[in-house]
């Protein structure tokens, strides 16, 4: 309870009022006591000033003991009152006169202050006074010397009862105590009200600040005054408004950043210098095959040392002073390039590193394909050029005179030149596809006519190998919108390949099927087939399953690549299914769409 500022206010006010009242009460009581005692002393001194001359004027030849009656009368005359008593004590400490006959003739030591009398009789002062308490009775005692013939002959002892004075003081103390209690009660009430008026706005601010700490920023404090508390409330409302605006902007930026990080094409991982992953976007987890549990439970180095130990925090901190670099991660058939750089914390010190992971598999494959393409083109050109140069040099060295040899050599040269021409033609056609420069002659044509015409063209070729080439069709005509020459090139290429790679006495079936919106051209043979591992690359340029035999049969390795480009140019698909020694099936699918003239 006393930790509350409200009770601290009340305690402080209570203590201040209590101390002030206590000091004032003590001061007043002491002053009042001193004043009353001074009044008593002055009265006793006044009585003594009247009695002493009367006694000292008695003839020195007469003994004071002999003048008892006269002395008693003098004392009764001047020492009149309810509270004062007067005694004359000789040097033998015998009370020789008094206004109270009860004490007449007794020893003063039994009733009066012996020490005061002794001091006076010994001449230690013109008077000696003291406050004397006997039981519940308190008195003010003053002793004066009586001098006769220049010597102290006796002592005048005056005593005043202080009962009335102390009763008055006690009443004053009670009044001061009651006033103090009343003042303290009023102080507690006023202090409580004052503290409440101060602490209630503070409590309101505290409660609403706690709600803000939990995320509820729609908090406002009522401004009820123009003082410091009012200014505090206004500043709290201003702070709330600014904080709400700022956090809204931060939340918006955070949302944008999270969206960017979550949907960016590259993976991103942030790791602190202690080796804990503090962020990993979904793309990075997908690339590296990490689960949320792995990221939360395992250290960064533990995860990455299996992928590439040169990317671990331990290795980077030890071998790279600037913490900037890149490396490569190979996972299965995927290749990832990892660039890393440091980031700083709120103290402008390096807090860790950020890794950006890029999938460069396609680029790497394209680069490999480019290199392979250049090598293949060079090789394809080198072979006929070598043959041409070889036969030409032979002829130039004296073989021109032999007509038979010359004609045979020139036939080889012509054949190799044709082969080079086909290669260049195919390369130019593929280049046009790549650069979107192909000119299409799209008109309404009959697919039945196209396939039938192609089969007829290759019928003799198949017959020369004792192969059965059959066109299986259930349509009289199948009109669609396509480029007749280019689609004929595709079908010619597919059936030619089937004839080439099917042994003698084999069979090749060509099917033409259709439904409401598509046409299927299927070429199925009983040839040698294609290995399963080669099927994914069968449409790559210059790719051959049996390179020696393909080249021997006059192929360039570009036919299927060109066929795929043509089919896809008609918004169609081409697919190859094959098994070793069981044959191959090529399926061409194109949409049926007529051009409205």
DSSP string computed for 242-263: HHHHHHHHHHHHHHHHHHHHHH
Q: Which helix (H) or strand (E) holds 376?
A: helix 361-396
Q: 447 and 430 in one domain?
A: no
- Among 438, 415, 426, which Cα is nearest to 377's? 426
**Last residue of a domain, which of 169, 204, 219?**
169
Q: 423 and 512 in one domain?
A: no
Q: What is the DSSP string of 288-311?
A: HT--HHHHHHS-HHHHHTTT-GGG
Domain assignment of residue 246, yes or no: no
Each residue's pLDDT tens digit, 13-47:
788 888 888 888 888 888 888 888 888 888 888 88
CB 436 within 8 A of CB 450: no
pTM of the complete model: 0.44
The pLDDT-based confidence of 522 (bands split at 50, 70, 90) is very high
> Does the structure show a pLDDT above 80 at 512?
yes
CATH at residue 322:
3.30.450.20
CB 299 within 8 A of CB 290: no
Strand-pairing partners, residue 145, are: 155
Q: What are phi and psi of 301, to 5 degrees?
A: -60, -35
pLDDT confidence of residue 134 = 60
Domain assignment of residue 473, yes or no: yes
> Does the structure show a pLDDT above 80 at 516?
no
Only one residue has tokens 């290795």, namely: 315
Domain assignment of residue 215, yes or no: no
pLDDT confidence of residue 376 = 67
Q: 425 and 344 in one domain?
A: no
The pLDDT-based confidence of 548 (bands split at 50, 70, 90) is very low
- Residue 109, class by beta-carbon neighbours within 10 Å (0-12 exposed, 13-18 middle, 19+ buried)? middle
Exposure string over 339-351, b if 16+ CB within 10 A, otherwise e? ebebeeeeeeeeb
- Among 544, 540, 501, 524, which Cα is nearest to 586's? 524
Q: What is the DSSP string of 200-214?
A: HHHHHHHHHHHHHHT
Each residue's pLDDT tens digit, 284-338:
888 888 888 887 878 888 888 888 888 888 888 888 778 888 888 888 778 888 8
For residue 469, count other CB atoms closer than 10 A to its CB.
24
What would the two tokens of residue 443 be? 């008109």
- Among 457, 448, 438, which Cα is nearest to 495's? 457
- Among 269, 290, 271, which Cα is nearest to 280's? 269
CB 417 within 8 A of CB 455: no
Q: What is the rounded average pLDDT of the residues 554-572?
A: 80
Q: 373 and 339 in one domain?
A: no
DSSP state of 572: -
Domain assignment of residue 355, yes or no: yes
The pLDDT-based confidence of 226 (bands split at 50, 70, 90) is low
| 3-state class (DSSP) for residue 498 | helix
CA–CA distance, 117 with 110 (Å, rounded to integer): 12
CATH at residue 425:
1.10.287.130
Q: 369 and 347 in one domain?
A: no
Only one residue has tokens 């101390």, namely: 19
**Last residue of a domain, which of 131, 146, 169?**
169
What would the two tokens of residue 33 be? 């006591």
| 3-state class (DSSP) for residue 519 | strand
CA–CA distance, 342 with 353 (Å, rounded to integer): 4
Phi-psi category of 149—alpha, beta or left, where left has phi over 0 and alpha has psi -120 to 50? Answer: left
CATH at residue 529:
3.30.565.10
Q: 524 and 468 in one domain?
A: yes
The pLDDT-based confidence of 511 (bands split at 50, 70, 90) is very high
Q: 158 and 23 in one domain?
A: yes
Q: 544 and 456 in one domain?
A: yes
**Last residue of a domain, which of 169, 189, 217?**
169
Q: What is the rounded average pLDDT of the residues 583-590?
A: 91
Domain assignment of residue 214, yes or no: no
Each residue's pLDDT tens digit, 91-106:
888 888 887 777 788 8
Q: 71 and 114 in one domain?
A: yes
Q: 400 and 319 in one domain?
A: no
More confident: 581 or 398:
581
Domain assignment of residue 178, yes or no: no
Q: What is the rounded average pLDDT of the residues 546-553?
A: 50
Domain assignment of residue 204, yes or no: no
Lowest-confidence segment of 275-279, 462-466, 489-493 by average pLDDT: 275-279
> Helix, strand, coil: what percent of the chain each, to 5?
55, 20, 25
DSSP state of 333: T
Q: 350 and 329 in one domain?
A: yes
- Provide the domain count of the chain: 4
For residue 325, count other CB atoms closer than 10 A to its CB.
15
- CA-based max dimension of the chain: 203
Domain assignment of residue 597, yes or no: no
Lowest-confidence segment of 221-225, 228-232, 255-259, 485-489 by average pLDDT: 221-225
Q: 420 and 346 in one domain?
A: no
> Does the structure show a pLDDT above 70 at 379?
no
pLDDT confidence of residue 550 = 47
CA–CA distance, 60 with 55 (Å, rounded to integer): 10
Containing domain of residue 285, as a range? 264-359
pLDDT confidence of residue 466 = 92
């Amino acid at each position: 309870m006393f930790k509350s500022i409200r009770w601290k206010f009340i305690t402080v006010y209570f203590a201040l009022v209590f101390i002030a009242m206590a000091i004032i009460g003590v001061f007043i009581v002491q002053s009042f006591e001193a004043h009353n005692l001074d009044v008593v002393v002055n009265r006793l001194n006044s009585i003594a000033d009247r009695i002493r001359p009367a006694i000292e004027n008695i003839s020195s030849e007469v003994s004071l003991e002999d003048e008892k009656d006269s002395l008693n009368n003098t004392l009764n005359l001047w020492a009149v009152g309810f509270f004062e008593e007067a005694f004359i004590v000789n040097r033998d400490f015998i009370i020789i006169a008094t206004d109270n006959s009860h004490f007449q003739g007794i020893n003063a030591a039994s009733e009066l202050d012996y020490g005061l009398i002794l001091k006076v009789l010994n001449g230690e002062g013109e008077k000696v006074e003291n406050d004397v308490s006997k039981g519940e009775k308190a008195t003010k005692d003053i002793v004066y010397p009586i001098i006769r013939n220049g010597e102290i002959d006796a002592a005048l002892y005056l005593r005043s009862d202080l009962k009335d004075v102390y009763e008055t003081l006690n009443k004053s103390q009670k009044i001061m105590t009651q006033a103090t209690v009343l003042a303290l009660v009023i102080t507690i009430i006023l202090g409580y009200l004052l503290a409440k008026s101060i602490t209630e706005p503070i409590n309101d601010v505290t409660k609403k600040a706690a709600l803000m700490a939990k995320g509820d920023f729609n908090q406002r404090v009522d401004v009820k005054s123009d003082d410091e508390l009012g200014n505090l409330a206004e500043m709290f409302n201003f702070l709330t408004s600014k904080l709400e605006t700022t956090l809204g902007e931060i939340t918006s930026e955070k949302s944008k950043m999270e969206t960017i990080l979550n949907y960016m094409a590259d993976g991103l991982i942030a790791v602190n210098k202690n080796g804990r992953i503090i962020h990993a976007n979904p793309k990075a987890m997908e690339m590296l095959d990490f689960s949320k549990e792995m990221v939360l439970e395992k250290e960064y180095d533990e995860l990455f040392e299996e992928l590439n130990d040169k990317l671990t925090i331990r290795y980077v901190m030890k071998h790279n002073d600037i913490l900037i670099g890149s490396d490569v991660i190979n996972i299965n058939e995927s290749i990832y390039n990892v660039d890393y750089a440091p980031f700083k914390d709120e103290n402008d010190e390096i807090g860790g590193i950020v890794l950006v992971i890029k999938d460069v598999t396609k680029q790497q494959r394209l680069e490999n394909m480019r290199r392979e393409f250049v090598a293949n083109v060079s090789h394809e050109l080198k072979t006929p050029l070598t043959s041409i140069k070889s036969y030409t040099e032979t002829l130039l060295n004296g073989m021109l005179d032999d007509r038979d040899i010359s004609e045979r050599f020139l036939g080889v040269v012509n054949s190799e030149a044709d082969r080079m021409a086909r290669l260049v033609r195919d390369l130019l056609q593929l280049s046009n596809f790549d650069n979107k420069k192909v000119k299409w002659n799209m008109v309404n044509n009959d697919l039945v006519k196209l396939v039938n015409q192609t089969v007829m063209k290759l019928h003799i070729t198949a017959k020369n190998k004792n192969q059965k080439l059959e066109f299986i069709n259930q349509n009289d005509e199948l009109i669609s919108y396509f480029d007749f020459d280019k689609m004929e090139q595709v079908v010619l290429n597919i059936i030619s390949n089937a004839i080439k790679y099917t042994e003698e006495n084999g069979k090749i079936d060509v099917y033409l099927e259709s439904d409401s919106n598509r046409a299927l051209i299927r070429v199925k043979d009983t040839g040698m087939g294609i290995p399963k591992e080669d099927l994914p690359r069968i449409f790559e340029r210059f790719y051959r399953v049996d390179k020696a035999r393909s080249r021997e049969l006059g192929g360039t390795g570009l036919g299927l690549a060109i066929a795929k480009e043509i089919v896809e140019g008609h918004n169609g698909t081409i697919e190859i299914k094959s098994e070793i020694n069981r044959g191959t099936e090529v399926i061409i699918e194109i949409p049926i769409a007529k051009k409205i003239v």
